[in-house]
Each structure stands twice: as C-alpha cells, then as structure tokens.
Amino acid sequence: MSEIADKDRLRALPSVDRLLREPGLGVLAGEFGHDNAVEAARFALEQARQEVRAGQPAPAMADLVGVTVARARSLWLPSLIPVVNATGVIVHTNLGRAPLSAAALAAVQSVAHGYSNLEYDLEAGERGSRHAHASALLARLTGAEAGMVVNNNASAVFLALSALAQGREVVVSRGQAVEIGGGFRIPDVLRQSGAKLVEVGTTNRTYLADYERALGSETALILRVHSSNFRVVGFVHEVDITEMAELGRQRGLPVLDDLGSGALLDSAQFGLAHEPMPQESVVAGASVVCFSGDKLLGGPQAGLIVGQRQYVERLRRHPLARAVRIDKMTLAALQATLLHYAKGEALREVPVWQMISTNAGQLRERVVGWAGSLAAAGIAASVATTAATVGGGALPGETLPSHALALGEGELARFGLTVEQALTNLRRSTPPVVARAERGELLLDARTVLPGQDETLLGALRQALGGR
C-alpha cells in the first residue's frame, strides 16, 4: 500500500516542461539559457522524488519553483558580489580588504577595455617591463633606490628569501617567527624558500647581541618581521630596525624588513598607534622592505618591494618573479592609488584613509539621519557610540570612535525577529549587508558604510524587517 501511495505521489509531480511553464519560471530560460533552465528543473524534480521515496509528501508547485530558481542562481550567477560593510572593521579581510578609489576603478576599466602598454616601451618601440609602471613611483614615495611589485606580500617575502638566502641561514628573533592570517607562518615560508631558520633571543626579549652571536659564514641575511596582527606587552624588548641595518652593514649582510600593512601615512595623526612605515625602514638602512598594497596603503592586493637597487634587481631576475608577477588590472589600480600619495591627496581620495580620518561627530550626524528616516517608517532605532577598528592585520587593539544605528531586541521582536535572524536577513538582501551584534543589539556602524550607500543600507534594513 505504501509503494502504491509513493507511486501516486511521484506521478503527481509535474514534468520538466510543465514545471518550466510556471509563471515564476517563465524568464528563466531567457536569463540562463534553455538547457540550463532544464537542468535546474530536473534537479528540483529529482530532489522531490527523493523526498517522496523517503516518505515525505510531494512538494507544492511553489516549492518546486523556488528550488529551481535557487538552483539556477547558485550555478549561473556570480558568487563574488558587492556587499555593504556595516561592521566597523575598515580593512575587512573577509570582505575584500580595501575598497578602491574612483581613480583606481577608472584605471582598471581603461586598461582592461582594450590593449595597453603593459610590457611595451612606446618611446623605443620595443618590449618593455611591467615593473616600470610602479617602480619609479614606489622609489619616489619611499626614498628607496628601486622598487618592484608582485601579487601579494606573502609572495614578496617568499621571493626575497628565495633570491637572497636559498640554502643559507636567515637570522630572525624568536618573537618574530610568527603566524599571520591564512596560516602564513614565517618558519614554513623560510623552509619552502630553501633558507635555514636561525632563531635568536626569546619570545618577549631579543637584543642586538643575540643577533651578533648568531651571525656566521652561513648567514645570508637578517630578517625583521613586524607583528602586525598582534602585540606583546609588558616585559619586552626588540631591536630597532636602525640597529639591525647597521649590524648588517658592518657584517656585509642584507636586512629584510617585512612590514605587512605598509602605511605610507602616519596613523598616529588620527589618534592611533604609529604603524611602521616603509619610508622609515628605507631611511634606517634596510636593504629590502616588503609590504602590502591592499591594507593601509588602500589599493588592490599586491606585494610591494622597495630597497637598495642591487638587491631589488636580484629579485627581479629570479625565476620565481614571473610566477608571482602582478597582472595589468591590479597594476593599473595600484599605480592610480600610488599617484594619490604622490599628489598629496590620499586622505581625500583613498577610501581607507577617508574612513580612518572621518570625524566621529560627522558619523553621528549621519546615523541620526538614518534613525530619522526609519522613524518615519515606524521603526524605532537609536544612535549607539561604538569603537571601529582598522582591521586587516594592522594596529591590533587600536580603535577609532564611531557611531552606529542600533536596534535592540525589543524593537526586533516587534517584527518577529531575534538579533541573529535580523543579521541573517541583512546578509540575504540585495546587496547583502554585513553588520554585527553587540550587547543584545543589532549594530550598523557608519564608519565603514561608504558614501552613497545610505539608501541602500536603509532599504536592506527595511527589507530585513519584513518589507517596511
């Protein structure tokens, strides 16, 4: 009897053609192509058959339509899409790190639209070098003799170690043999590069004498790694880069400085701790300095290398350099970003620095406007004082005063939602909005909501609360 009932329920399921004629699926073939629409419908029907065979009732036609649409969208719509960042984390690693300036976006479109002189010397009429488009700018901005660009800072460090220390020893403080985001561990990178790790000092205290005792005939270079995403406090001591560079000069050894974030502007002017700057390392005498393009620099993902010409040229000539080279669109965005610094307009044009430098009072006025707009729609929101962070593995523990739109548990309950459900609904909006929960409230921090996104944010919130 059960088998007969199952067969009846299976026969009740529509055919693929019948399902695709449903009003909700009429445009599916036009949007994704006929064959893809058929594939999505077959998936929905097969899933329904499995449910029936498992003893469940046959799904309603509306449910089959929903599964078909969801399947089609999951397969043939882009999965990488824009989101609104309302978390208060400026350089948010999971949300793509630094947003690009308008000039950087225009530069990408310009070179991507057609051909470019990526590796062509227009003056000489012959092959050129892609390094030429950023090298001079990097050198001028940092005071270095030379510069080059690779695809990220991990590659920059790996290339430098491979080119300068393969098969030989690299001396590093035990407190700097660290792991940063994504499982990037300095000891592992050293081993993969073919270099041999020599740790000196202790986790919390390393002195110049520790380095001096470790240097020998097998030493290739001295490495400093900036602990960009954590901080050791209390009974600590580190050797200054100037002292390390002088020791390297005395012993005829290069000094590699891995800065990570690589701020070209002084973060201390905005009430934050001072983030080490590449130009400071160059002045101190570091041979090679590596830093990121998509963190505090505020550009695209890239690994920037500056330093003394003899060492940078060795990196350029190394076979690995081709494997980690930068592409034309990233290079265009990076060049445009660097030009903002060269023109003295980075605070005004680079979004990361716009967000860092914005006055908390301006943010409060913005959130007050949001709350007023929602009040007109019958939604009671308040203005909360919050603390935003730089993020991206920079300035750990440092915060910037900010303000956020806050909806408490009581107000959300009026719409039948918990804080977590509201966060989920926001992430499902178009475009998605990523916010945070704190002290039982839903918070949308204004510091990281870009100019021009206010109405998008409020529309998504109204949708998340049920379409008000």
Residues 286, 245, 229, 169: is their CA dihedral positive or negative? positive
Q: Give the other-Cβ count within 10 Å of 80's Cβ.
A: 5
Instruction: Pick the closest to residue 299 from 259, 263, 258 (CA basis).
Output: 263
For residue range 335-368, list pLDDT tens digits in order.
999 999 999 999 999 999 999 999 999 999 999 9
Q: Mean pLDDT check: name the lowest of 31-35, 201-205, 253-257.
A: 201-205
Return the pLDDT at 9: 74
Instruction: Pick the closest to residue 152 from 105, 109, 93, 238 (CA basis).
Output: 93
Distances (CA, A) of 184 to 187, 292, 321, 330: 9, 14, 19, 22
Q: Mean pLDDT check: name the lowest of 139-153, 169-183, 329-343.
A: 169-183
- CA-to-CA distance for 425 and 352, rounded, in angstroms? 27
Domains and CATH numbers, the chain: 2-76 (no CATH), 84-93+353-464 (3.90.1150.180), 102-349 (3.40.640.10)
Place of tokens 């890239």: 302
Tokens of 50: 């499995």
- CA-to-CA distance for 65 and 62, rounded, in angstroms? 5
pLDDT classification of 184: cutoffs 50, 70, 90: low
Read off the DSSP letter of residue 25.
Answer: G
- CA-to-CA distance for 128 and 136, rounded, in angstroms? 14
H or E segment to which residue 255 belongs: strand 255-260
Place of tokens 């918070």: 443
Place of tokens 């067969």: 7
Residue 183 confidence (pLDDT) above 80: no
146-154 mean pLDDT: 95
- CA-to-CA distance for 121 and 424, rounded, in angstroms? 52
pLDDT classification of 192: cutoffs 50, 70, 90: confident
Return the pLDDT at 231: 59
Around 381, how many Cα atoms within 13 Å sit in the side-chain half-sphere?
Answer: 27
> Contact at 8 Å (CB) between 351 and 300?
no
Predicted model pTM: 0.89
Higher pLDDT, 4 or 451: 451
272-299 mean pLDDT: 95
For residue range 316-326, list pLDDT tens digits in order.
999 999 999 99
> Contact at 8 Å (CB) between 298 and 346?
yes
Return the pLDDT at 177: 72
pLDDT classification of 2: cutoffs 50, 70, 90: low
Distances (CA, A) of 382 to 369, 415, 443: 11, 17, 10
- CA-to-CA distance for 460 and 433, rounded, in angstroms? 7
- CA-to-CA distance for 379 and 453, rounded, in angstroms? 19
Burial class (CB in 10 A: 0-12, 13-18, 19+), 42: middle
For residue range 48-70, list pLDDT tens digits in order.
999 988 888 889 999 999 999 99
Residues 89, 92, 95, 98: is their CA dihedral positive or negative? positive
Q: Give the other-Cβ count within 10 Å of 67's Cβ.
A: 19
For residue range 105-121, list pLDDT tens digits in order.
999 999 999 999 999 99
Around 406, how many Cα atoms within 13 Å sit in the side-chain half-sphere?
Answer: 17
Return the pLDDT at 1: 40
Residue 229 confidence (pLDDT) above 60: no
pLDDT classification of 24: cutoffs 50, 70, 90: confident
Around 429, how many Cα atoms within 13 Å sit in the side-chain half-sphere?
Answer: 27
Burial class (CB in 10 A: 0-12, 13-18, 19+), 328: middle
Pair type for strands 219-225 and 169-173: parallel
Burial class (CB in 10 A: 0-12, 13-18, 19+), 56: exposed
Tokens of 367: 């959130």
- Partners of 225 in the β-ladder: 258
- CA-to-CA distance for 41 and 19, rounded, in angstroms? 7
Residue 247 confidence (pLDDT) above 80: yes
